[in-house]
Amino acid sequence: MSEWKPFPWQENALLRDEFEILAGGARGPGKTDCGQVWLLGEKNPCGNLYIDHPRYRALVLRKNAEDLADWLDRATYMYAGVGGVVSGKPATVKFPSGAIFRTGHLKDRKSYEKYLGHEYQRELVEELTQIPQEMYYLQIMGSCRSTVDGLKPQIFNTTNPGGVGHVWVKERFVDVAPPGTPYTYRMKVKDKELTLTRIFIPATLDDNTVLMEKDPQYVAVLEVLKEKDPDLYKAWRWGDWDVFAGQYFKTFRKDLHIINPFIPDGNGLIVGGLDWGRTDPFSFHLAEIKKITFNGVTFHRVRTFLEVYGTDKDPKDWAEEIKKKLKFYGIKLKDIAWVQADTQIYNKPNDSQSKSIYNLFKDADDDFQCLRPADKDRIQGWMIMLNWMSIAPDGLPYYQITSNCENLIREIPVAIHDEHNVEDIDDLCSDHALDDQRYMLRKIKWIDAKVGGITHKQDVKQLPTLVVTPSGKIETIDINKFR
């Protein structure tokens, strides 16, 4: 430990006093070493580190136990010079003063609840983009606090671009302010204005002069990716946040797949998908299927236009919300040809007096008999969705989504490949809207027409609307311009 000397970027990161720090970006700059040194804490006026305080507690989190084992191997060497001893399962690092670092993994959703009510003055999260949702991160951050004088709470994160949490991490740390510039966010609590700060400190392999000197061929290892996987190369070599390594639906483009809201004109078939959830989100979408003929080729176009999405409601409440949405569009349940539904809604409860979710929907309205058991083959379903996202002969996708289907649009770009089965989507992704769409699209015949290059204007009926632009700003638009 006494021989460790920080690179300039590491020294900068170690001296930051923002509450949240995100360090790194590319591969190889020395993120892990920086985080391990950061855990030792600042020196007080007496020259003591946090680890000299008997009440100092820190938490170290990684996605899985295998990654944590590597971190602990390095920590054993790093902390030996200051009396740190690694032991136990789950492992802890104990110091002569009584200070303790605890370690944990984030392999499933329940893992994020383990630390509720705990107090850690410092938290280190390795590979932050492996956390699928910002809410899980906020749960972890909720345990970063201090009732001990002289021990200031702070959270230090490291990561590369990509992964299931790429989008929310980018929005939280990278997009809010230029690299190296603090961002202050304010809130009012009981008429008091409180502030917190966060910062992103970027670094690349070139900042690690020791690795560049001792293992120069590591650069070549990364450069090989330039031709094989350009997105991964940009992320790993340069820490480029504008690419998304591991993204499942790479062909999804907001400028093509997202269209303005419309009211079906009655000339197409109305179909849908439903994914059941109570504490997990419930998701319901409707789409219009139209037969398109272009340059002598006939194919289907599917346009998803209605979304009902949320949690903590029973079937009767969801039935009423769906019917309310249908009324706005001038549609009745009997106008829907079919809705491919999650098969668990047909399961009968153990209580013989209770009804299945499907029967509760039918009790709310008998026309919910349009619900049909879906084919739940995940791999085949995702493959079919990829087909539908491709470009038809008229230059537009076979499958499009209106901008008011916000949850579906949110889930598509952040879905990533499962690292254990690359043909599937990582099960930590939010995929409830995706699920109901794969149920639906699997039922519709997709015609593989040859791709053309001619576009045409979209046919839409008048509907007052707010549309989210690519910048994320909400603007009112004149829908007549798109006739």
CATH number of 155's domain: 3.40.50.300
CA atoms of 141 and 123, how far apart (whole Å): 8
Burial group, residue 182, by CB count within 10 angstroms (0-12, 13-18, 19+): middle
Q: Do 178 and 318 fall within a single domain? A: no
In a domain? residue 228? no
Q: Do 208 and 259 fall within a single domain? A: no
Can you tell me the mean pLDDT for 242-268? 88
In a domain? residue 66? yes
Secondary element (H or E) of residue 424: strand 421-425
Amino acid 358 reads Y
Helices 315-329 and 357-364 pack at an angle, to 10 degrees, of 50
Q: Do 377 and 307 fall within a single domain? A: yes
Closest CA relative to residue 200, chosen from 220, 174, 226? 174
Do residues 318 and 357 make contact, with C-beta atoms less than 8 angstroms apart? no
In a domain? residue 225? no
Q: Do 180 and 300 fall within a single domain? A: no
Q: Do 285 and 389 fall within a single domain? A: yes
Torsion from C-alpha of 248, 249, 251, 257, nearest 10 degrees: -170
Length of the chain as a residue count: 483
Question: pLDDT (tens digit, 9 = 90+) per residue, 419-451?
Answer: 788 899 987 788 999 999 999 999 998 888 864
CA atoms of 378 and 392, how far apart (whole Å): 24
In a domain? residue 119? yes
Question: pLDDT (tens digit, 9 = 90+) per residue, 207-243?
Answer: 999 999 899 899 988 998 888 888 788 888 999 887 6
Q: Do 450 and 318 fall within a single domain? A: yes
CA atoms of 37 and 12, how far apart (whole Å): 13
Grouping H, G, I as helix, E, B as strand and the rest as coil, residue 19 is: coil
Domain span holding position 407: 254-482
Do residues 39 and 174 make contact, with C-beta atoms less than 8 angstroms apart? no
Q: Do 187 and 258 fall within a single domain? A: no
Q: Do 372 and 444 fall within a single domain? A: yes
Q: Do 138 and 273 fall within a single domain? A: no
DSSP 232-261: HHHHHHH--TTS-TTBS-TT--HHHHEE--
Q: Determine the Cα angle at 112 with ends 108 and 118, to 5°.
A: 150
Q: Do 452 and 362 fall within a single domain? A: yes
Beta bridge partners of 476: 466
Give pLDDT, residue 476: 33
In a domain? residue 462? yes
In a domain? residue 227? no
CA atoms of 148 and 193, how far apart (whole Å): 23
Of the residues 213, 228, 243, the one at which a domain ends: 213
Write down the mean pLDDT value for the chain.
Answer: 87
In a domain? residue 249? no
In a domain? residue 245? no
Q: Do 184 and 277 fall within a single domain? A: no
Question: pLDDT (tens digit, 9 = 90+) per residue, 175-202?
Answer: 899 999 999 988 878 788 889 999 999 9
Return the percentage of the chain with pLDDT > 70, whole number.
91
Do residues 387 and 449 make contact, with C-beta atoms less than 8 angstroms apart? no
Q: What is the pTM of this model?
A: 0.66
Question: pLDDT (tens digit, 9 = 90+) per residue, 108-159?
Answer: 777 777 887 899 999 999 999 988 888 889 989 999 999 999 999 999 999 9
Of the residues 180, 213, 246, the one at which a domain ends: 213
- If one counts the domains in the chain, the total is 2
Of the residues 187, 213, 239, the one at which a domain ends: 213
CA atoms of 155 and 22, how far apart (whole Å): 9
Q: Do 292 and 177 fall within a single domain? A: no
CA 276 from chain centre, in angstroms, equals 20
Residue matched to tokens 């502030």: 195
Beta bridge partners of 24: 159, 202
